[in-house]
Homo-oligomer: A and B are copies of this chain.
Amino acid sequence: MPRRIGIIGFRGYSGAELVQILGRHSGVETILMEHRQDVENRPEPIGRPGLRRIPATAEAAAAESLALVFLATPAEVSMDLAPKLVEKGVKTVDLSGAFRLKTVENYAKWYKEEHVAADLLAEAAYSVPEFHRSLVPGARLISNPGCYPTAANLALRPLVAAGLVDRSAGIVCDAKSGVSGAGRKASLKTSFCEVTENFSAYSILDHRHVPEILMTSGLEEREFSFTAQLIPIDRGILETLYFRVNPGVTAERILDVYQAAYAQETFVRLYKPGQVPDLHAVRRTNFCDIGFKFDAATGRIVVVSVIDNLVKGAAGQAIQNMNLALGFPEQESLL
């Protein structure tokens, strides 16, 4: 019998992606949880039965015996709903930034808001499955990583951990994202005429995803320069990372470290030194593709890391975490 899975925020871009991917999952029934009446009324075909809908409450989730609920909601909504769901014994995967950082102080510093669920913040299992797989089965609340940090951490952490990176010279991460990363809402900034034929940088050096990258990669803030930028495309993140490696490190060594880290991983793919992926390589997939160009004479390296922000950067990775949490094969519905 399929496990029942609830989605709150199913009209947003990440929520809609959850619905679509779960539609290919052999072990679940998707339930839409109505949180707020949307004004939007897209025309719908006649006579096609949709998914079942219930209210977006912890009570309804418990009454329906939901095995797990996805929160594809803004951080303030997640902070409100997650404690209630967890209290009712409903496993929860939160896609917002509400439970990614470990302390209320750090949250206040980067999100410029007070955190109202401090206990749960400390308890939540932050999980990039490739790094934190073991934490997931026992967790009541799983915090799904941010889109920018996913691409950055998969590229940085193995090299930093292996001591290959010359941290004294600093690490640059120049990040570009499609517009769906900003969420589904009316906004002049993301309106077509403002975005098309444009390219813009925002949150330079102070993006709220920075502490997530520091936390997982092992870098420190003063070593790490991050710029987020908006590309006129629907979906996709490409990050170009620049740093120097320590003396004696070769391209072979770099590739070895990556291969050792990801030999057993389905969703991280590597390229031959000198070759890098573009966004089309990972479009509508749960893959993170990583390639690099290395100049042996000077130790300079440029790493390119790409994901689909709505899949590996949001819904896909959340379902990867759900699969781990509920004992499904990790790749189910994701290949």
Contacts and interface: CB of A to CB of B under 8 A. Distances in A.
A331 to B, nearest CB: 13
A273 to B, nearest CB: 10
A179 to B, nearest CB: 4
Interface stretch (A117-125, A133-141, A185-193): A185-193
A192 B179 contact: yes
Given A187-B186, A231-B231, A179 B193 contact: yes
Contacts of A13: 193
A197 B240 contact: no
A48 to B, nearest CB: 6
A252 interface: no
Contact of A48 (B45, B240, B269, B272): B269
Interface string A183-225: 0111110111111111111001100000000000000011001
Given A222-B297, A272-B46, A278 B199 contact: yes
Nearest to A202: B276
Nearest to A287: B45
Q: How many copies does the complex hold?
A: 4
Contacts of A205: 293, 295, 300, 302
A169 interface: yes
A37 interface: no
Interface in A268-285: 269-272, 275-281, 283-284
Contact of A242 (B40, B222, B225, B281): B225
Contacts of A176: 176, 199
Interface in A224-240: 225, 227, 229, 231-236, 238, 240
Interface in A244-279: 244, 259, 269-272, 275-279
Contact of A271 (B40, B43, B184, B196): B43
Given A180-B193, A186-B186, A201-B238, 17 more contacts: A43-B271, A48-B269, A169-B169, A179-B192, A190-B191, A190-B192, A190-B193, A196-B196, A197-B233, A197-B280, A198-B236, A200-B279, A204-B276, A205-B300, A225-B300, A229-B238, A231-B232
Complex A-B, nearest 8 residue pairs according to Cβ-Cβ distance, in ascending order: A200-B278, A45-B269, A43-B275, A174-B174, A204-B293, A222-B298, A192-B195, A179-B192
